[in-house]
Amino acid sequence: MASQEDGTSGGGLGTGAGGETPQSGHRSGFVAIIGAPNAGKSSLMNRFLGQKVAIVTKKPQTTRHRILGVLTWPSGQIAFCDTPGIHDSPKALNREMVSRALSALSDSDVCLWLVDGASRGPDHRRALEMVMARRDRMPLVAAINKADLLDPPALAELSGQIAGQASPDGLLGVSAMTGQGLRRLRRTLAALLPEGPPLFEEDALTDQSLRTIAAEHVREAVFELTRQEIPYSTAVTVDEFLEPGPGEARPLFRISATIHVERDSQKRVMVGRNGSMLRDVGRRARLGLEAFLGTPVFLSLFVRITKDWSGDARALEEFGYRDGPGRPGR
Ligand SMILES: Nc1nc2c(ncn2[C@@H]2O[C@H](COP(=O)(O)OP(=O)(O)O)[C@@H](O)[C@H]2O)c(=O)[nH]1
Ligand SMILES: [Mg+2]
């Protein structure tokens, strides 16, 4: 995936402000991307970064963590927080996801409300409520995504509606898929950020560890290849993550991961006939990871039943979806 932005950089995992004095007029800060499930929040962040940092699927509620993606250009730096979609659900995992999105919002300088240009249901209204509850505390930019699917009159009508409902400081149509409007969006966001030096080193890309990214690629493959409740009943943990040794003639990442499901019937689906589903998931995840890492990967996958984990506070904590007493916030 190519970046739309020239003069941007991304690559390593370093964080921490650089020591040099920035040129005056440099702006930097945190932008939380808030919106309904499936609005395209993860796609937008990936498109800005020119790298797939956050997994993307056609199914809602794919993103469970808050994920930081850093975009750096000569006169500015935006640390985007991609967040789980705002939605209503009684399940512990879902409530945890929404609370993460809202905490990312309170830690940010600007709220970027991403509206799904192609569909607006109850989750759209819920997201609007959340955004409006914080409207007087921070600048708001509303971006109508999937503009590639809208004709100009439809986009104009929707823009009018959003302007009336939220009076945002910036309002524009974008497409995370084609890159349309992203330069303008970057300019609009940057103008609302405080002046100051970069917050992260210029080659910083994300705060996610390679281990987490590996687990997320497996989860993405599960979301893409399984149906109904299976994706939502799946968590992935990485048991072993060995980076290539310094002198290896053919560098190779060796990764083994466990796919946790909630019930025996789900395990049967996840493994598939003669292991075919697990093989397909493994192959897809491996190809994605190889593209991300630029290095061959040896990936072993296991399936385990962790009974009803998505409603269990201890399991959520163990899988990294909930901050326990001993876990630092993420
Ligand atoms: N046509 C079109 N589809 C998009 C666009 N942005 C995202 N999508 C699709 O919308 C779906 C949800 O995207 P995702 O980034 O996972 O949404 P999230 O749940 O808000 O993070 C995926 O199938 C994307 O390919 C866009 O600008 N145009
Ligand atoms: Mg997402």
In tens, the pLDDT along 65-74 reads 778 899 999 9
In the prediction, which pLDDT does 154 show?
97
Q: Is 250 in the pocket of ligand 1 (CB under 6 A)?
A: no
Q: Is 299 in the pocket of ligand 1 (CB under 6 A)?
A: no
In tens, the pLDDT along 142-196 reads 999 999 999 999 999 999 999 999 999 999 999 999 999 999 999 999 999 999 9
Q: Is the pLDDT of residue 302 over 90?
A: yes
pTM: 0.81
In this structure, what DSSP letter does residue 9 have? Answer: B
- What's the average model confidence in pLDDT over 269-298? 95
Percentage of residues of the chain with pLDDT beyond 70: 91
In the prediction, which pLDDT does 164 show?
97
* CA 292 to centroid of ligand 2, rounded, Å: 18
Distances (CA, A) of 225 to 46, 171, 182, 281: 21, 36, 30, 7
In the prediction, which pLDDT does 325 show?
56
The C-alpha torsion from 140 through 141 and 144 to 146, rounded to 10°, is -120
Q: Where in the chain is the domain with CATH 3.30.300.20?
A: 210-318
Q: Is 256 in the pocket of ligand 1 (CB under 6 A)?
A: no
180 burial (CB, 10 Å; 0-12 / 13-18 / 19+) is middle
- What's the average model confidence in pLDDT over 109-135? 95
Give the position, in ligand 1's atom list, of the atom nearest the Cα of 180: 27
User: What are the respective helix, strand and coil percentages of the chain, to the nearest 5?
Assistant: 35, 20, 40
Q: Which ligand is nearest to the CA of 65?
A: 2
Closest-CA residue, ligand 1 atom 3, reads 146
* CA 44 to centroid of ligand 2, rounded, Å: 9
Q: Which ligand is nearest to the CA of 48?
A: 1
Q: Is the pLDDT of residue 140 over 80?
A: yes
Confidence of residue 26 (pLDDT cuts 50, 70, 90): very high
Pick the CATH number of 210-318 from 3.90.79.10, 3.60.130.10, 3.90.420.10, 3.30.300.20: 3.30.300.20
Q: Where in the chain is the domain with CATH 3.40.50.300?
A: 27-191
Q: Is 62 in the pocket of ligand 1 (CB under 6 A)?
A: yes
Q: Is 180 in the pocket of ligand 1 (CB under 6 A)?
A: no
Whole-number average pLDDT of the chain: 88
- What's the average model confidence in pLDDT over 254-275? 96
In the prediction, which pLDDT does 207 show?
85
Q: Is the pLDDT of residue 19 over 50?
A: no
In the prediction, which pLDDT does 23 show?
58
Q: Is the pLDDT of residue 120 over 80?
A: yes
CB 182 within 8 A of CB 174: yes
Pick the CATH number of 27-191 from 3.30.1490.190, 2.40.50.100, 3.40.50.300, 3.40.630.40: 3.40.50.300
In the prediction, which pLDDT does 66 show?
79
Flag the least confident range among 70-74, 193-197, 256-260, 319-323: 319-323
In the prediction, which pLDDT does 216 show?
94
* CA 272 to centroid of ligand 2, rounded, Å: 27
* CA 70 to centroid of ligand 1, rounded, Å: 20
Count each helix (H run) and each strand (E run) in the chain, helices first: 9, 9
Q: Is the pLDDT of residue 3 over 60?
A: no
* CA 242 to centroid of ligand 1, rounded, Å: 32
Q: Which residue out of 34, 44, 56 has the highest number of ligand 1 atoms within 8 Å of its CB and is therefore the one to mutate?
A: 56
The single-letter code of the amino acid at 248 is E
In the prediction, which pLDDT does 163 show?
98
